[in-house]
Structure 1
Amino acid sequence: MHISPLAMTILLLSLFCFSALLSPLRALTLPSDTSALKAFKNAIKPATISPWSCLASWNFSIDPCSLPRRSYFICGITCNSDNTRVTALVLDPAGYSGTLSPQLSTLTQLIHLDISDNSFYGPIPSSLSSLTKLQTLSLSSNSFSGPFPPSLTRLTSLNSLDISHNALARTLPQTMSSLSNVRTIDLSFNKLTGSLPKLPPNLVELAIRANFLSGSLLQSSFQGSSQLEVVELGANMFSGVLNSWFFLLPSLQQVDLSNNSFTRLEIWKPSNKDSNLVAVDLGFNSLEGYLPVNFASFPLLSSLSLRHNRFRGPIPLEYGKKLSLRRLFLDGNFLNGKVPDRFFSGAGGSTLSGSFGDNCLESCPNSSQLCLPLQKSPSMCRQAYGGKPRSVSSWF
């Protein structure tokens, strides 16, 4: 049968248009990525997938990465530019409950994984170490249990790790320093035990508050931590001496080591005026001795808490001369003698907040907010100083 050139042209155009209409239905996403998404959803209890949630829109009768997404896969995933690979899995905080499918490890182009603020439980799959391009891993505020998988330290592209507010237990892997590009780590509010391992070299912020870490803070753990700005290790079981090298870390700005069991504090003057230390919280430890005068040598220090320890002796006059100090908490110790006048003068008293209460001070007026709560009883102070009188002149 002979077909004219015009008829052939019309036929080809029709076929082209028909194929164009069908193209959105063609499977674009790599089949293994689609299978991983199916396994991920199947591991979540259906009763916890609300009709308005992201996961409720995941209908695998269409391709996950196909466009436009008007009714299905409207949120929760991001695909690459050619719509063939999943690059981000970021869930809404909708109360999803279930385990984390190990099959997620086949999403090898994944850059961001964030399922925080839900109710996932069980162990964190060690197979997630296959996600070698992962930059953000956030599993915070769930109920994950078991150990921190040592295999996760092979995620060398990772720059943010947040598994806070879970139930991770046991010790941290000694290979934590292998996370060579990580900038922030938050493992707070878990059940981690043991000592602090060597930290990653490019770490800027470290938060492992409210766990059961113990032992001393060793200089070897912080070796090479030249970019570390924030350290939050409060509410653990650290003990021993806090040595001066720690406060001289070159980029250190904020420190929270409160609610531990440290017994002694060594503070050296910074060797230059370039120290960036701004805030220090060492409250609720077992620190003894005199208040460290050298804290006054840190040029930018504006907040200092040494409350509820076992410090004795007078408040250093240098503290009263430090103009950058805006918050000073010394309550709950056994300090005696007179408070530097500057704290109650117009120049300093109007801007300083904090407390000198619950000590053995002689000249802290009850009319000042800084002197609340009231000082300890004379009998308690005499007992603390071996029955000697409270006057500061008695010590020199």
Structure 2
Amino acid sequence: MLKPPHNHHHNHHHLIFSLLILFIHLPFSISTTATADIAALKSLKTFIKPSSIPPSSCISTWDFSSDPCLTPKRTHFICGLTCSPDSTRVISITLDSVGYSGSLTPYISQLTQLVLLDLGQNSFHGTIPSSLSSLSLLQSLSLSYNSFTGPLPSSIGNLKSLQDLDLSNNLLSGSIPNTLFSLSHLTRLDLSFNKFSGTLPAKLPPNLHELAIKANSLSGTITKTSFTELTQLETVELSGNSFTGVLQSWLFQLPALQQINLSNNSFTGVEIWRVGKKLSSLVAVDLGFNKIEGYLPVNLSEYPVLASLSLRYNRLRGPIPLQYSKKSNLKRLFLDGNYLSGTPPAGFFTGVGEESPVIGSFGDNCLLRCPPKSELCLPLQKPMSVCKKVYGGKMPRRN
């Protein structure tokens, strides 16, 4: 009788099975996180007060008896960080907002593959370590809603890949470094609700879409050089500072600009040229609570998609231009708290039951015959004596 042929397949399967058993029992055989990354994560946790780490939080699962990038994550490092596809490097840290308190370790700089760092809505304090600037791949940095103090390190300009920088709602002070201009990929910058002083940087990052530096202590004038290359800028929020001077027309003619809020500053004038052939994307303008003098800028009525305009609580005088009432897409118009005179255009008060085509207010001015039934005419006009004083002893005639 012939012997059956030797089964090579059987041996092959047996070998694979033995190897698998071996792999399963090898510690961390699938991969190991880079030692520099582990050291940085340990330091990050050490710099956080243990008493501010709730048992249910991400940081409480950072137990270094296990490898941070090991998968599957059953009990350790189950949240707060993401690793590279080969499980050797940490590429993102997003801490949960549970009130972690402590400072940010300077060893964060060892996480050289980090693309995203978000420590927002916690209680971090102390300064922003300048070593952060060696994270050359970082695209998004958010330290918002913490208590960071001190200056913004000028080395921040080394974060060449940065696209989104949010440091809002901290206690940062000093001037805004001119090195921000080097951030050529930055599209969003939010430094609102800090204590920055001085002027705007000489040049802002050229590819910004969103600029927000609300509620700081910035002063000086808004100069064209700061905005020269900003052809993609859509939103400008600089309200609640101490800017002065005259706002010039180039600002309102930035090609992509949609919203501009410069309220609660100390601007004294505004120049608006005609839009001309250039079509503007400007939808909302807020220049309320400044010291703007002169007449209402009639050329604003030519901006084709302007829907919301506030010039409330300034020092404007003269009539409300008729053109404003003929602008059908203007839905919100706040002109209260000025010294506007004459009779407001009748076009604002047409319609059923004296309802106006716009929401807003013409109150607290020196207007004559503002229909008392119209909400637009609230609050009441200024006393005659105040208006007479402003207009040199006599009330201006009706327009």
Q: How does 1:243-392 map to 2 (within 5 A)?
A: 243-346=248-351, 349-392=355-398
* Cα distance in 2 between the residues matched to 1:115 and 1:154: 20
What stretches of structure 2 of length at least 5 have no aligned partner? 1-7
Give the Cα separation in 2 of the matches to 1:220 and 1:276: 22
Q: What is the TM-score normalised by the length of structure 2?
A: 0.94
**What corresponds to 1:148 in structure 2?**
152
- CA separation in 2, counterparts of 1:156 and 1:282? 34
Question: CA shift at 1:16, angstroms?
Answer: 1.7
CA contact (8 A) 1:273 1:298 kept: no
- Give 1:17's aligned residue: 20
1:342-382 deviations in Å (ceiling 9; x for gaps) = 11112994441000000010021222111111110111111
Task: Give the whole-Å Cα distance in 2 for the aligned partners of 1:346 and 1:22.
Answer: 81
CA contact (8 A) 1:313 1:392 kept: no
- Going from structure 1 to structure 2, the CA distance change for 1:14 and 1:247 (only over 3 Å counts) comes to closer
Structure 1 partner of 2:240: 235
Shift of 1:6: 12
**Residues 355 and 374, structure 2, Cα contact 8 Å, conserved in 1:** no
CA spacing shift, 1:354–1:9, aligned 2, 3 Å: closer
Instruction: String of CA shifts for 1:219-259, please: whole Å, max 9, x gaps.
Output: 00001111111000000010001011111111111000000
- Aligned partners of 1:362 and 1:391 also within 8 Å: no
Letter of the structure 2 residue corresponding to residue 367 of structure 1: K
Shift of 1:14: 6.8
Which runs of 5 or more residues in structure 1 are unaligned?
none
Percent sequence identity over aligned pairs: 56
CA contact (8 A) 2:348 2:357 kept: no
The Cα of 1:195 is off from its aligned counterpart by 0.7
Question: For the residues of structure 1 that align with 2:191 and 2:133, how far apart are their CA atoms?
Answer: 18
Cα distance in structure 1, aligned partners of 2:54 and 2:108: 22
Residue number in structure 1 paired with 2:72: 68
Q: SS of 1:311's equivalent?
A: strand
Checking the alignment, whether the CA contact within 8 Å between 2:59 and 2:80 is kept in structure 1 is yes
Write out per-residue CA displacement over residues 119-147 of structure 1, whole angstroms, 9 at most, x where no aligned residue: 00000010011110000000000000000
Letter of the 2:47 counterpart: A
Amino acid at match of 1:305: S
Q: Quote the Cα distance in structure 2 between the aligned partners of 1:249 and 1:13.
A: 66
1:153 positional shift: 1.1
Q: What residue in structure 1 maps to residue 229 of structure 2?
A: 224
Does the 8 Å CA contact 2:136/2:159 hold for their aligned counterparts?
yes
**Alpha-carbon distance in structure 1 between the residues aligned to 2:14 and 2:281:** 74
CA distance in 2, matches of 1:244, 1:13: 75
Aligned residues: 389
Question: How large is the Cα RMSD of the aligned pairs?
Answer: 1.9
